[in-house]
Structure 1
Amino acid sequence: MDRLRLTGYAVAQLILAVVLIALAALWVVGGALIVVWVGLGILAGVVPATRWVANVHRAMAASTLGQPVPVPYLPVPRDRGFFARVRVVAADPMTWRDLAWVFIAPLVGLVVSIVLLVLLVGVVTTPIWWFVTPPLMTARAYFDRFFLAYSRTEKLEQRVQTLAASRADLVDHSAAELRRLERDLHDGAQARLVALSMTLGMAEAAFDDDPARARQLVSDARETTAAAIGDLRSVVRGIHPPVLADRGLTGAVQAMALDMAVPVRVEAHLDGRPPAPVESAVYFGVAECLANIGKHSGADHAWITLSHEGAGPEDGVLRAVVGDDGRGGADPAAGTGMLGVMRRLAAFDGTMSVSSPAGGPTLVTVEVPCTLDSGSSSPRTTPSSGPA
């Protein structure tokens, strides 16, 4: 039965070889006419058609090899203009690997498929077909994977480039955060402490001659002290919120949800706590999403789902999904908040994706690969809402 399945793949590849020949011709025509813009329209149709055929071959190669052959294309932004999408496609190395494959694969497909079909229909050659089919189709699958998927070395090179870029972003973000903290301390707590020192000095000078004024100055100093403490607490919360350290990610997100004017439901499915830096990054990502919901969405309800997916606490992905039923149309590139969250997540190999069609709903998904400390678990399901 397995050989019949592989032979079916050979028949499909024989048909697709004809399609690839037509696509190769269109690639040539589109490339030749691109100087008069007509070619750009041709290529706009050829590229997705090529990717569709390549994805079919990836699926057959994965089935043949028993190993995944992932689709490695860079995401094309649907909300950007035509030329912006063209630049993304043209900058994708896999586009050019597909192009090379288009010109070579038809010959390989025709030869392999015709050989197998001729061996199958011949009475004398059927035993040969029986023994030749698995290795021949396996070789064809390796050929497709060579062109249509990145090798381990290429993946490592891309990983190094990604880490270098994320490290540079994180350094810039950290420098900006340090400047923000310095500014907050200088304009907030430091200014109040200077005022406090001056007030106490005036109170000390007034003790003998004007006790009533001295008492008033001491009272003012007490208020200034309380305000300075509040400023310091605000700065500390911006670094690492105490509620996050005390109650973990689930409890901290619950606390944020309770402070929202929009009713928010929180569901957590965590069997432990992630590492503190990852926990902090996800917390601030959720906080930014909730802030945007409160300021821009016009939503009546919102929801947050926290989960860890994988074989167990020791591996997998921490996922936070924040959604609302507001007006939609959110653009993560429109402000600095989301971009800052993305930079923070990139340091941990994390990602943030946004789905926000006009009219809603808006869904923001944060994913960070990490392990969980099962010694400190969180409630599996916790509903939380603000005022109705």
Structure 2
Amino acid sequence: MHRTGSLLATVAHLALLGSIGIPVLIGIVTIAAVGVGTLVVLVGFLLLALAMLAMLGVAWFERERVAGLYGEPVPPAVWRESPRSDWLRVPHRLLRIVSDGEHWKALLSFFLASLFGAFTLPLLGLVGLGIPLALAGLGAAESIAIPLTTIAVPVAWAPLVGPLAFAAGVAGTIGLALAHRNITVGLLVPDERERLEGEARAERERRHGAVRAADFDRTRIERDLHDGVQPRLVSIAMQLGMARDKIESDPAAAMRLIDEAHASSKSAVTELRQVARGIHVAVLDDRGLDAAVSALAARSVVPVEIDARIEGRCSRDAETAVYFAIAEGITNAQKHARASRIRIAIRTRHAEGAPATLWARVEDDGVGGAERLPGGGIDGLAHRIAGVGGTLTLSSPAGGPTAIEVDVPCAS
């Protein structure tokens, strides 16, 4: 019964799309063509944008239609962000969204369904014609005229032609409905094996990213200890040794050395705190990401604007990864970009059918030119983000601005 209901619903969908699908696609193509032809004026860009939005609407409709018709898990669309921050941000984002292959698969599915629907309509006409032809022998007419044609079927032939037309119409309609299901599901629903392989591949990449991030952090800590704290401690030991040698012969000089050692010990404690801050951020656990980023901004020599809209708390790993991404962005802006302003945006994002994510963007108005180099700070940050299942995007054209954008699952 369920298969019969699904089959009848598919036929109804095909009949509807056969009536309106092709005209809708022709309308979109026409708008796009006119837009291309009028690009020299503003109206051309507006028409192209309208065509793109119409394409996205059709793709969204097709995904929802197939998911509702067959109850299959059709993945939702990915609405990509643009790394740009100038006036091209909106059209660039629209272009990135439209270039996503999943949208084109949905459009192809809609086109094929409309094409199948165009063939379904005459087949349904055969079904409707077959019944009166089969019963034509009960009437007194000598022939039966077929609607919308000049063909007339003699009554003597009607009992034979009617059942044949009915059977052909039913068989063709069922065949198109089954073909529609196989093709649309194949286009829009990920294969189970491919899905499992993709998950396994993503998990391997996350593990690799976590290992690389740990190696990078260990190397950084070793460098900070070797270049900063260790020489300071060696200097303290030497000062105390010299003070011990002079404590009897020159007490004043010994006291000066002890004072210098005392000042050096305070500097060493400060440096150790800075190293520890790179391992664990206490304020992040106690007060959350917003407060931790505010503390970063307070220590920055470059003015920082923060726009944080965070709903509740995410996992510790997610918040830590985003915190260090923001810290790296601020550090790069201060050391390399010669920036005069830093802007930070933080959001909790909710996509339909997907888990919540923690998104952040750090942008400065510096000179740009930042690159992801193997073993560099951004490379280590990218591995840290990948280790919690997130993504990092870097945009830094020559002349600026530089933007680091990260997006990690809240439940990482």
Give the TM-score category using the shorter length: 0.5 to 0.7
The letter of the residue matching 2:65 is: S
- Could you say which residue in structure 1 is the equivalent of 2:273? 233
**Residues 213-257 of structure 1: CA deviation (Å, up to 9, x unaligned):** 211121121122122212211211111234434432111111222
Q: Spell out the pairing of 1:170-185 with structure 2 (5 A cutoff).
A: 170-185=210-225
Deviation at 1:294, TM superposition (A): 3.2
- Could you say which residue in structure 2 is the equivalent of 1:60? 62
- 1:162 equivalent in alignment to 2:164: no
CA contact (8 A) 2:328 2:378 kept: yes
Counterpart-to-counterpart distance in 2, 1:261 and 1:125: 84
**Residues 17-69 of structure 1: CA deviation (Å, up to 9, x unaligned):** 9xxxxxxxxxxxxxxxxxxxxxxxxxxxxxxxxxxx99977853542332674
Residue 114 and residue 357 in structure 1: after superposition, are their counterparts in 2 closer, same or farther (change >3 A)? Answer: farther
Counterpart-to-counterpart distance in 2, 1:113 and 1:234: 70
The TM-score with structure 2 as length reference comes to 0.60
CA contact (8 A) 1:199 1:221 kept: yes
Residue 204 and residue 121 in structure 1: after superposition, are their counterparts in 2 closer, same or farther (change >3 A)? Answer: same
- Could you say which residue in structure 1 is the equivalent of 2:323? 283
CA contact (8 A) 1:71 1:149 kept: no
Q: Of 227, 249, 252, which residue of structure 2 is paired with 1:212?
A: 252
Residue 371 and residue 71 in structure 1: after superposition, are their counterparts in 2 closer, same or farther (change >3 A)? Answer: closer
Residue 162 and residue 299 in structure 1: after superposition, are their counterparts in 2 closer, same or farther (change >3 A)? Answer: same
- Percentage of pairs with the same residue: 35
Residue 105 and residue 272 in structure 1: after superposition, are their counterparts in 2 closer, same or farther (change >3 A)? Answer: closer
Gaps in structure 1 of 5+ consecutive residues: 18-52, 79-94, 98-103, 373-388
Q: Spell out the pairing of 1:46-125 with structure 2 (5 A cutoff).
A: 60-66=62-68, 69-70=74-75, 113-120=118-125, 123-124=128-129
Instruction: Please report the RMSD computed on the Cα atoms of aligned residues, expressed in angstroms.
Output: 5.0
Counterpart-to-counterpart distance in 2, 1:338 and 1:124: 70
CA contact (8 A) 1:324 1:363 kept: yes
- Could you say which residue in structure 1 is the equivalent of 2:389? 349
Counterpart-to-counterpart distance in 1, 2:355 and 2:113: 40
Report the number of matched residues: 318
**Residues 256-292 of structure 1: CA deviation (Å, up to 9, x unaligned):** 2233344322122223222222211100111122233
Residue 71 and residue 249 in structure 1: after superposition, are their counterparts in 2 closer, same or farther (change >3 A)? Answer: closer
Deviation at 1:136, TM superposition (A): 5.5
- 1:293 equivalent in alignment to 2:333: yes
CA contact (8 A) 1:288 1:337 kept: yes
Q: Quick check: which has more Rg, 1 or 2?
A: 2
- 1:200 equivalent in alignment to 2:202: no
Counterpart-to-counterpart distance in 2, 1:254 and 1:368: 20
Q: Of 312, 324, 328, which residue of structure 2 is paired with 1:272?
A: 312
CA contact (8 A) 1:301 1:324 kept: yes
Deviation at 1:361, TM superposition (A): 5.3
Residue 248 and residue 207 in structure 1: after superposition, are their counterparts in 2 closer, same or farther (change >3 A)? Answer: same
SS of the residue 1:199 aligns to:
helix
Q: Of 181, 184, 190, which residue of structure 1 is paired with 2:230?
A: 190
- Could you say which residue in structure 2 is the equivalent of 1:9? 17
**Residues 156-215 of structure 1: CA deviation (Å, up to 9, x unaligned):** 211211221231232133123223322322333233223322322222232222211211
